[in-house]
Amino acid sequence: MAPTRAGTTPAILLVVVGLACQEVGAALAVLLFPQVGPLGMVMLRLLFSAVLLMLIARPVLRGHSRDAWGAVAGFGLVLATMNGLFYLALERLPLGVTVTIEVLGPLVLSIVASRRVSAWLWALLALAGVVALAGGGWDSLDPIGVLFALGAAASWAFYILASARVGREFPGLDGLALAMTVGALIALPFGILSAGSALLRPELLALGAAVAVLSSTIPYALELVALRRLPAAAFAILMSLSPATAALAGWLLLGQDLVWLEVVGIALVITASIGAVRASNKAARSAPLA
Protein backbone atom coordinates (compact mmCIF):
# COMPACT_ATOMS: atom_id res chain seq x y z
CA MET A 1 0.00 0.00 0.00
CA ALA A 2 1.39 3.42 -0.94
CA PRO A 3 2.03 5.91 1.85
CA THR A 4 -0.83 8.36 2.33
CA ARG A 5 -0.48 12.12 2.47
CA ALA A 6 -2.13 12.15 5.92
CA GLY A 7 0.57 9.91 7.32
CA THR A 8 3.51 11.67 5.68
CA THR A 9 4.00 14.55 8.12
CA PRO A 10 3.97 12.39 11.28
CA ALA A 11 6.34 9.96 9.56
CA ILE A 12 8.75 12.78 8.74
CA LEU A 13 8.67 13.84 12.39
CA LEU A 14 9.44 10.26 13.44
CA VAL A 15 12.54 10.22 11.24
CA VAL A 16 13.69 13.60 12.56
CA VAL A 17 13.18 12.49 16.17
CA GLY A 18 15.10 9.28 15.40
CA LEU A 19 18.00 11.28 13.96
CA ALA A 20 17.99 13.57 16.99
CA CYS A 21 18.04 10.61 19.40
CA GLN A 22 20.88 9.04 17.46
CA GLU A 23 23.07 12.12 17.65
CA VAL A 24 22.21 12.80 21.30
CA GLY A 25 23.32 9.23 21.98
CA ALA A 26 26.57 9.86 20.11
CA ALA A 27 27.18 13.05 22.10
CA LEU A 28 26.55 11.17 25.37
CA ALA A 29 28.99 8.50 24.24
CA VAL A 30 31.68 11.16 23.69
CA LEU A 31 31.15 12.41 27.25
CA LEU A 32 31.77 8.87 28.52
CA PHE A 33 35.05 8.40 26.60
CA PRO A 34 37.23 9.61 29.53
CA GLN A 35 35.77 6.87 31.75
CA VAL A 36 35.43 3.88 29.41
CA GLY A 37 37.25 4.85 26.21
CA PRO A 38 35.77 4.62 22.69
CA LEU A 39 36.11 0.82 22.46
CA GLY A 40 34.55 0.39 25.89
CA MET A 41 31.66 2.52 24.67
CA VAL A 42 31.31 0.37 21.56
CA MET A 43 31.09 -2.75 23.70
CA LEU A 44 28.44 -1.24 25.98
CA ARG A 45 26.35 -0.01 23.05
CA LEU A 46 26.44 -3.32 21.20
CA LEU A 47 25.95 -5.39 24.34
CA PHE A 48 22.86 -3.56 25.56
CA SER A 49 21.48 -3.29 22.01
CA ALA A 50 21.91 -7.05 21.60
CA VAL A 51 20.14 -7.78 24.88
CA LEU A 52 17.20 -5.53 23.97
CA LEU A 53 16.88 -6.94 20.46
CA MET A 54 17.09 -10.54 21.65
CA LEU A 55 14.31 -9.86 24.19
CA ILE A 56 12.15 -8.18 21.55
CA ALA A 57 12.77 -10.54 18.62
CA ARG A 58 13.25 -13.86 20.45
CA PRO A 59 14.85 -15.33 17.30
CA VAL A 60 14.49 -19.00 16.38
CA LEU A 61 17.93 -20.62 16.32
CA ARG A 62 17.07 -23.85 14.53
CA GLY A 63 16.41 -24.52 10.87
CA HIS A 64 18.90 -22.07 9.34
CA SER A 65 21.49 -22.98 6.73
CA ARG A 66 25.25 -22.63 7.03
CA ASP A 67 25.08 -19.72 4.57
CA ALA A 68 22.52 -17.98 6.78
CA TRP A 69 24.75 -18.26 9.84
CA GLY A 70 27.69 -17.09 7.75
CA ALA A 71 25.67 -14.01 6.78
CA VAL A 72 24.91 -13.32 10.47
CA ALA A 73 28.58 -13.69 11.42
CA GLY A 74 29.64 -11.33 8.63
CA PHE A 75 26.97 -8.80 9.60
CA GLY A 76 28.09 -8.95 13.23
CA LEU A 77 31.70 -8.32 12.22
CA VAL A 78 30.60 -5.32 10.15
CA LEU A 79 28.57 -3.94 13.07
CA ALA A 80 31.52 -4.22 15.46
CA THR A 81 33.94 -2.71 12.92
CA MET A 82 31.67 0.15 11.88
CA ASN A 83 30.85 1.19 15.45
CA GLY A 84 34.46 0.80 16.57
CA LEU A 85 35.85 2.98 13.79
CA PHE A 86 33.07 5.55 14.26
CA TYR A 87 33.75 5.99 18.00
CA LEU A 88 37.52 6.03 17.44
CA ALA A 89 36.94 8.85 14.94
CA LEU A 90 34.66 10.67 17.39
CA GLU A 91 37.51 10.71 19.90
CA ARG A 92 39.56 12.85 17.49
CA LEU A 93 37.05 14.75 15.31
CA PRO A 94 33.92 16.88 15.89
CA LEU A 95 30.64 14.96 15.73
CA GLY A 96 29.37 16.81 12.65
CA VAL A 97 32.58 16.24 10.69
CA THR A 98 32.70 12.54 11.65
CA VAL A 99 29.13 11.85 10.57
CA THR A 100 29.61 13.81 7.33
CA ILE A 101 32.63 11.69 6.37
CA GLU A 102 30.80 8.51 7.40
CA VAL A 103 27.86 9.38 5.14
CA LEU A 104 30.23 9.12 2.16
CA GLY A 105 29.99 5.30 2.38
CA PRO A 106 26.31 4.94 1.48
CA LEU A 107 26.60 7.97 -0.81
CA VAL A 108 29.28 6.31 -2.95
CA LEU A 109 27.32 3.05 -2.92
CA SER A 110 24.21 4.90 -4.12
CA ILE A 111 26.15 6.62 -6.91
CA VAL A 112 27.72 3.38 -8.13
CA ALA A 113 24.38 1.53 -7.97
CA SER A 114 22.62 4.20 -10.05
CA ARG A 115 24.85 3.51 -13.10
CA ARG A 116 24.07 6.95 -14.51
CA VAL A 117 26.73 9.36 -15.72
CA SER A 118 24.87 12.27 -14.10
CA ALA A 119 25.27 10.57 -10.72
CA TRP A 120 29.01 11.23 -10.84
CA LEU A 121 28.27 14.95 -10.72
CA TRP A 122 26.96 14.33 -7.21
CA ALA A 123 30.19 12.48 -6.44
CA LEU A 124 32.19 15.56 -7.45
CA LEU A 125 29.96 17.75 -5.29
CA ALA A 126 30.52 15.41 -2.34
CA LEU A 127 34.26 15.55 -2.98
CA ALA A 128 34.10 19.35 -2.88
CA GLY A 129 32.26 19.07 0.42
CA VAL A 130 34.94 16.82 1.88
CA VAL A 131 37.66 19.26 0.81
CA ALA A 132 35.73 22.13 2.39
CA LEU A 133 35.40 20.14 5.62
CA ALA A 134 39.05 20.76 6.30
CA GLY A 135 38.20 24.40 7.03
CA GLY A 136 41.54 26.12 7.26
CA GLY A 137 43.30 23.14 5.67
CA TRP A 138 43.55 19.37 6.10
CA ASP A 139 46.13 19.92 8.83
CA SER A 140 43.28 21.31 10.97
CA LEU A 141 41.75 17.82 11.15
CA ASP A 142 43.37 14.91 12.97
CA PRO A 143 44.60 12.64 10.12
CA ILE A 144 44.14 9.45 12.16
CA GLY A 145 40.61 10.55 13.01
CA VAL A 146 39.90 11.12 9.32
CA LEU A 147 41.19 7.62 8.50
CA PHE A 148 38.95 6.13 11.19
CA ALA A 149 35.95 8.07 9.80
CA LEU A 150 36.72 6.90 6.25
CA GLY A 151 36.92 3.34 7.56
CA ALA A 152 33.52 3.81 9.19
CA ALA A 153 32.20 5.11 5.84
CA ALA A 154 33.42 1.99 4.04
CA SER A 155 31.97 -0.17 6.81
CA TRP A 156 28.59 1.56 6.44
CA ALA A 157 28.52 0.60 2.75
CA PHE A 158 29.25 -3.02 3.73
CA TYR A 159 26.59 -2.72 6.45
CA ILE A 160 23.93 -1.95 3.84
CA LEU A 161 24.92 -4.97 1.76
CA ALA A 162 25.22 -7.29 4.77
CA SER A 163 21.91 -6.11 6.21
CA ALA A 164 20.12 -6.85 2.95
CA ARG A 165 21.59 -10.37 2.84
CA VAL A 166 20.63 -11.13 6.45
CA GLY A 167 17.16 -9.71 5.82
CA ARG A 168 16.66 -12.29 3.06
CA GLU A 169 17.75 -15.16 5.32
CA PHE A 170 15.92 -14.29 8.57
CA PRO A 171 12.41 -12.96 9.26
CA GLY A 172 11.70 -9.73 11.13
CA LEU A 173 14.34 -8.61 13.59
CA ASP A 174 15.80 -12.11 14.05
CA GLY A 175 18.87 -11.58 11.87
CA LEU A 176 19.66 -8.17 13.32
CA ALA A 177 19.34 -9.46 16.90
CA LEU A 178 21.68 -12.38 16.20
CA ALA A 179 24.17 -10.20 14.31
CA MET A 180 24.16 -7.63 17.12
CA THR A 181 24.97 -10.44 19.55
CA VAL A 182 27.89 -11.53 17.37
CA GLY A 183 29.09 -7.92 17.20
CA ALA A 184 28.87 -7.57 20.97
CA LEU A 185 30.94 -10.74 21.46
CA ILE A 186 33.58 -9.44 19.04
CA ALA A 187 33.71 -6.07 20.84
CA LEU A 188 33.75 -7.63 24.33
CA PRO A 189 37.51 -8.23 24.81
CA PHE A 190 38.44 -4.84 23.31
CA GLY A 191 35.88 -3.11 25.52
CA ILE A 192 37.08 -4.84 28.69
CA LEU A 193 40.68 -3.86 27.94
CA SER A 194 39.63 -0.27 27.22
CA ALA A 195 37.22 0.30 30.13
CA GLY A 196 38.75 -1.94 32.79
CA SER A 197 37.36 -1.49 36.29
CA ALA A 198 35.00 1.28 35.10
CA LEU A 199 32.66 -1.52 33.99
CA LEU A 200 32.00 -2.24 37.67
CA ARG A 201 30.41 1.18 38.18
CA PRO A 202 26.59 0.90 37.94
CA GLU A 203 26.13 4.52 36.83
CA LEU A 204 28.42 4.03 33.82
CA LEU A 205 26.60 0.84 32.87
CA ALA A 206 23.30 2.72 33.08
CA LEU A 207 24.65 5.49 30.85
CA GLY A 208 25.95 2.86 28.41
CA ALA A 209 22.45 1.38 28.28
CA ALA A 210 21.07 4.88 27.62
CA VAL A 211 23.46 5.30 24.69
CA ALA A 212 22.30 1.96 23.27
CA VAL A 213 18.64 2.96 23.56
CA LEU A 214 19.19 6.44 22.11
CA SER A 215 21.59 5.42 19.34
CA SER A 216 20.04 2.12 18.27
CA THR A 217 16.72 1.04 19.78
CA ILE A 218 14.66 4.24 19.48
CA PRO A 219 15.93 5.30 16.01
CA TYR A 220 15.48 1.82 14.57
CA ALA A 221 11.94 1.50 15.95
CA LEU A 222 10.94 4.95 14.67
CA GLU A 223 12.47 4.24 11.26
CA LEU A 224 10.51 0.99 10.96
CA VAL A 225 7.25 2.88 11.61
CA ALA A 226 8.20 5.73 9.27
CA LEU A 227 9.09 3.37 6.42
CA ARG A 228 5.50 2.09 6.43
CA ARG A 229 4.24 5.63 5.73
CA LEU A 230 6.99 7.19 3.61
CA PRO A 231 8.30 6.33 0.14
CA ALA A 232 11.78 4.80 0.36
CA ALA A 233 13.30 7.70 -1.61
CA ALA A 234 11.82 10.30 0.75
CA PHE A 235 13.10 8.33 3.74
CA ALA A 236 16.61 8.16 2.23
CA ILE A 237 16.59 11.94 1.61
CA LEU A 238 15.65 12.57 5.25
CA MET A 239 18.44 10.26 6.41
CA SER A 240 20.83 12.35 4.31
CA LEU A 241 20.29 15.17 6.80
CA SER A 242 22.18 13.29 9.51
CA PRO A 243 25.37 15.40 9.14
CA ALA A 244 23.33 18.52 9.93
CA THR A 245 21.71 16.99 13.02
CA ALA A 246 25.11 15.70 14.13
CA ALA A 247 26.71 19.12 13.75
CA LEU A 248 23.84 20.69 15.72
CA ALA A 249 24.15 18.10 18.50
CA GLY A 250 27.91 18.60 18.64
CA TRP A 251 27.45 22.35 18.96
CA LEU A 252 24.65 22.24 21.56
CA LEU A 253 25.82 19.32 23.70
CA LEU A 254 29.60 19.24 23.25
CA GLY A 255 30.42 22.87 22.47
CA GLN A 256 32.00 21.89 19.14
CA ASP A 257 32.04 25.00 16.96
CA LEU A 258 32.50 24.71 13.20
CA VAL A 259 34.21 27.25 10.93
CA TRP A 260 32.20 28.47 7.96
CA LEU A 261 34.05 26.27 5.46
CA GLU A 262 33.14 23.17 7.50
CA VAL A 263 29.49 24.27 7.46
CA VAL A 264 29.72 24.67 3.68
CA GLY A 265 31.28 21.21 3.42
CA ILE A 266 28.47 19.62 5.42
CA ALA A 267 25.88 21.40 3.25
CA LEU A 268 27.58 20.18 0.05
CA VAL A 269 27.66 16.56 1.24
CA ILE A 270 23.99 16.75 2.25
CA THR A 271 23.10 18.20 -1.17
CA ALA A 272 25.12 15.48 -2.91
CA SER A 273 23.40 12.79 -0.83
CA ILE A 274 19.93 14.08 -1.72
CA GLY A 275 20.90 14.38 -5.39
CA ALA A 276 22.31 10.86 -5.45
CA VAL A 277 19.15 9.46 -3.85
CA ARG A 278 16.98 11.20 -6.44
CA ALA A 279 19.20 10.00 -9.29
CA SER A 280 19.09 6.45 -7.97
CA ASN A 281 15.30 6.64 -7.67
CA LYS A 282 14.97 7.85 -11.28
CA ALA A 283 17.20 5.03 -12.45
CA ALA A 284 15.05 2.49 -10.61
CA ARG A 285 11.84 3.87 -12.18
CA SER A 286 13.31 3.86 -15.68
CA ALA A 287 14.74 0.33 -15.43
CA PRO A 288 12.90 -2.18 -17.65
CA LEU A 289 10.66 -4.66 -15.87
CA ALA A 290 11.86 -8.26 -15.82
What is the structure's pLDDT at 290? 45
Neighbours of 64 (CB within 10 A): 17
**Which CA distances in Å does 271 have to 24, 96, 197, 278?**
23, 15, 45, 11
Share of the chain above pLDDT 90, in %: 32
Average pLDDT over all residues of the chain: 82
**Which CA distances in Å does 41 have to 17, 109, 115, 137?**
23, 28, 38, 30
Dump pLDDT digits (tens) for 152-173: 999 988 887 888 888 888 887 8
Dump pLDDT digits (tens) for 5-28: 445 667 778 888 888 898 899 999
Residue 193 — very low, low, confident or very high, per pLDDT cuts 50/70/90? Answer: very high
Query: Does residue 59 or residue 108 have the better pLDDT?
Result: 59
Query: Does residue 149 or residue 15 have the better pLDDT?
Result: 149
What is the structure's pLDDT at 57? 86
Query: Does residue 287 or residue 111 have the better pLDDT?
Result: 111
The span from the CA of 88 to the CA of 127, in Å, is: 23
Residue 289 — very low, low, confident or very high, per pLDDT cuts 50/70/90? Answer: very low
Neighbours of 197 (CB within 10 A): 6
What is the structure's pLDDT at 55? 92
* Average of per-residue pLDDT across 216-239: 73
What is the structure's pLDDT at 253? 85
What is the structure's pLDDT at 12? 76
**Least-confidence region, from 40-44, 81-85, 130-134, 174-178:** 130-134
* Average of per-residue pLDDT across 30-43: 93
Share of the chain above pLDDT 70, in %: 82
Is pLDDT above 80 for 2?
no
Query: Does residue 105 or residue 211 have the better pLDDT?
Result: 211
Query: Does residue 249 or residue 221 have the better pLDDT?
Result: 249
What is the structure's pLDDT at 69? 93
Dump pLDDT digits (tens) for 45-93: 999 999 998 998 898 888 888 898 999 999 999 999 999 999 999 999 8
What is the structure's pLDDT at 147? 93
